[in-house]
Structure 1
Amino acid sequence: MKKLFCCMAIMLAMLPTQAVTAVLSDTEKRMVEFIDATNPAALELLVDSVNINSGTMNLAGVREVGELFGTEFAALEFEVEWLDGSGFERAGHLLARYRGNEAQVKVLLIGHLDTVFEPDSPFQTFTRVDDDNATGPGIADMKGGNVIMLRALAALREVGALEQLDVTVVLTGDEELSGSPLALSKQALVEAATDADIAIGFENGDGDYRTANVARRGSSGWTLETTGTPAHSSQVFREDIGSGAIYEAARILHGFHEDDTLRGEQFLTFNPGRIAGGTTLHNNDADNTTSAFGKNNVVAESARVEGDIRALSAEQLARAQARMAAIVADNLPGTRAGISFDEGYPPMAPGAGNLRLLTLFSQVSEDLGFGEVTAVNPLRAGAADISFAADHVEMAIDGLGMSGTEGHTVDETGYLPALPLQAKRAAVLLHRLAGGQR
């Protein structure tokens, strides 16, 4: 772990430096003043968006949040389009574009409309905890980030600087539970990234405004299926019967857990999330359930395990998959096993361009008086939509959204002072990128 961040520090030191304004320009000061003056309206928009349930599978709710934010982008004179998601079994995505007359740089801004909280969740509304904190479904992940994005763009427009940018915004409707086929679900994001120079994500990263993501591990699924010879349990281990499907699944999982080449890989994790075994199995992908029938006096005929694997590079993922497959292939007597992998989210590797963008962002933060911004440890943040864009742009950064804690739980909390803080940092960063700082 220390090795990667040491490498990051060395790469940052080797990158070409460029003079950065030591103090804010008059234009930047005006943007800061605008964000402070309009923060009450930003907070009101946050409350309105949080109070609309937009669990991924609440398609109507996701569209309603899309309409709310679409109206805000239209007010900034963006061209707004709703991309229907029926082809990938989701609500769809919000696409907003602004083509500045003086644009020299193309920027892709990324957010998402959906949350993990469906209509049957007990967690449904914005609740103020104190002056600095509030709870609510998606307040940090990531409706706060969407509001921050809008406030930064509004500040640029207020001072006439938006004309210097070519901006595409993609707010996806299925970040928390991607639609299928994945290629169609992420098509708009990939196409927008292919036409952009820089990608900026407004996810909440690790929840700390003092950090940002220059790397994210990819996330893909795996399914292990084992079979055995059914027989009376008194005959288990007999030469012509063997060990049964559950023992075979247990052997494989133990092999994954104890293998030094898997457990020893920095930033690699692999987790079995669901297991079932017995005489017969019934799997339902739609609701992530597997039911089993079996008796304790019968050698198990079938077992199934589903899990995920997270890696920092495509090469690391390929190595891990090959090793897992080799462990699966060494079957116990009387059993068979197979493992399959889905494509999932790609990794976002910590390239030089990403590190350079972090340097620029950190300088912006210091110029604003908010202190240094450092890289998030990839182990402390999950996969995100920016990973589909990162390989197509010169620079990418994520985690510019709202600080908070307890994401994906009914205690999800947003740190409200981060709303104007992050908007100011994003606005000044975009202004400097538009002015040629790269």
Structure 2
Amino acid sequence: MDQPVLDLPFDAEAMLPGLRTWVECESPTFDAAAVARMMEIAARDLALMGARIETIPGRMGYGPCVRATFPHPNPSMPGVLVMGHLDTVHPVGTLEPLPWRVEGNRVYGPGVYDMKGGNWIAIEAIRQLIRAGIATSRPVTVLLTSDEEVGSPSTRDLIEAEAARHAVVLVPEPARPDGGVVTGRYAIARFNLRATGRPSHAGARLADGRSAIREMCRQVVAIEALTTDAVTYSVGVIHGGQWVNCVATHCDAESLSMAKRQEDLDAAVETMLSLRPTGNDVQLEVRRGVTRPVWEPDARGMELYGTARRIAQTIGFDISSQSAGGGSDGNFTGAMGIPTLDGLGVQGAGGHTLEEHLLLDSLVPRARLLAGLLQVV
């Protein structure tokens, strides 16, 4: 890494106005129009930097994606893919209880930590390199996707196809709590469950009915009791019934399992798909949803981490490497065997909550780390 990268004029305060625009454009996964508005803002910012912009239409009811390709003296060589998502878990209106605000070293807002802040510093790293006339080692493509928070059901094929054309993948998901980066992620599987009972009038003929809600509650308790050190089972979504005076005919739920090893997740999948109703007068259907494969650290990925660590030490800090739970799109590229480094984004806490925030003093060193990587990998 050349000394000019260390001298690039990164400024945390100067990064905030643009990031604020991104954060205040709320973009929950299930609101395709809101995600599209966010993609338009990002596409314009990238176009102003000189990137060639392609908007990729959404499918399956999700929003579009944006691919930005930057000029390079050797455009045909395998490049660096900077990959992030712009969808969030926060519904439109979250800005009221979680407004953009800066309080000391904390910057709050929906999606500011997971992962608009990380995407923004990655783009800032590219911007500073361009302004300084410093060439990246390889052509750089930025891919911004629309459905990562629900497991990337509509974009996995796009992610894998794009990654296959690149030599390295950098993912600015949030840093680990100690500031470390991610060199592997656990396997994750989602499941959709439906219980079907028998309706009746809850006041006049309660005994004639068989409640789908009651059946699902029994299943939830049984499912979560399956959790071990090897694999977790949790139910995070449940919907049932329509009228309080009717015994519920249907109840739907979504379950997630996570394991450090693929064989443990495979066993969990078999367990979930073999679930049966607790009685003969109710029905239970279990369907497998989105799966993220296990991404295990490998030699080329650890070599990439070693490069990042040396850059970080030159800047003035250190980074650990970790395998992590909580899937990302790095699961896909890492499992493909493409050298992938994840967790390169901002430090902070409170992701997916009304306390979500990043640490202001992490913006410059993390952006500088990304700029260094883009120059040498």
TM-score band by shorter chain is 0.7 to 0.9
Residues 323, 265 of structure 1: alpha-carbon distance in 2 compared, 3 angstrom cutoff: farther
1:363 & 1:339 partners in 2: Cα distance? 48
TM-score by length of structure 1 reads: 0.74
**Residue 5 of structure 1: aligned partner:** none
**Residue 283 of structure 1: aligned partner:** none
Q: 2:61 aligns with which of 74, 81, 89?
A: 89
Contact 2:196 2:251 in 1 (8 A): yes
More displaced stretch, 96-105 vs 416-425: 96-105
Contact 1:92 1:174 in 2 (8 A): no
Contact 1:178 1:185 in 2 (8 A): no
Shift of 1:32: 2.4
Deviations 1:350-382 (A, max 9, x none): 3333233222212221121112x1134524xx2
Residues 375, 291 of structure 1: alpha-carbon distance in 2 compared, 3 angstrom cutoff: farther
Q: Does 1:116 align with 2:89?
A: yes
Residues 421, 294 of structure 1: alpha-carbon distance in 2 compared, 3 angstrom cutoff: same
2:142 & 2:187 partners in 1: Cα distance? 22
Query: What is the aligned-residue RMSD (CA, Å)?
Result: 3.2
Any residues of structure 2 matched to 1:215-234 within 5 Å, and which?
A: 215-226=184-195
1:367 & 1:316 partners in 2: Cα distance? 40
Amino acid at match of 1:155: Q
**Residue 148 of structure 1: aligned partner:** 121
Q: Does 1:290 align with 2:240?
A: yes
Any residues of structure 2 matched to 1:155-174 within 5 Å, and which?
A: 155-174=128-147
Q: 1:375 aligns with which of 307, 321, 331?
A: 321
Shift of 1:294: 7.3
Q: Does 1:401 align with 2:364?
A: no
Contact 2:98 2:109 in 1 (8 A): yes
Deviations 1:235-288 (A, max 9, x none): 99xxxxxx98677656654544445xxx3352x21112345xxxxxxxxxxxxx
Q: Does 1:185 align with 2:132?
A: no
Any residues of structure 2 matched to 1:10-21 within 5 Å, and which?
A: none
Any residues of structure 2 matched to 1:29-44 within 5 Å, and which?
A: 29-36=3-10, 38-44=11-17
1:108 & 1:168 partners in 2: Cα distance? 5
Residues 218, 30 of structure 1: alpha-carbon distance in 2 compared, 3 angstrom cutoff: same
More displaced stretch, 165-174 vs 355-364: 355-364
**Residue 295 of structure 2: aligned partner:** 348
Any residues of structure 2 matched to 1:357-372 within 5 Å, and which?
A: 357-371=304-318
1:428 & 1:341 partners in 2: Cα distance? 41
Q: What percentage of residue pairs aligned between the two structures are identical?
A: 24
Residues 270, 205 of structure 1: alpha-carbon distance in 2 compared, 3 angstrom cutoff: farther
Helix, strand or coil: the match of 1:214? strand
1:354 & 1:142 partners in 2: Cα distance? 22
Q: Does 1:384 align with 2:328?
A: yes
State how many pairs are aligned.
Answer: 371
Amino acid at match of 2:108: T
TM-score by length of structure 2 reads: 0.84
Amino acid at match of 2:60: F
Shift of 1:192: 0.8
Amino acid at match of 2:129: L
Deviations 1:47-67 (A, max 9, x none): 222222223344444333323
Residues 164, 363 of structure 1: alpha-carbon distance in 2 compared, 3 angstrom cutoff: closer
Helix, strand or coil: the match of 2:70? strand
1:294 & 1:68 partners in 2: Cα distance? 44
2:42 & 2:250 partners in 1: Cα distance? 48
Q: Does 1:72 align with 2:72?
A: no
Structure 1, gaps ≥5 residues long: 1-24, 237-242, 276-288, 434-438
1:44 & 1:251 partners in 2: Cα distance? 49
Residues 129, 253 of structure 1: alpha-carbon distance in 2 compared, 3 angstrom cutoff: closer
Q: 1:318 aligns with which of 266, 278, 283?
A: 266
Amino acid at match of 1:403: Q
2:28 & 2:198 partners in 1: Cα distance? 43
Q: Which has the larger radius of gyration?
A: 1
Shift of 1:432: 2.0
Structure 2, gaps ≥5 residues long: none
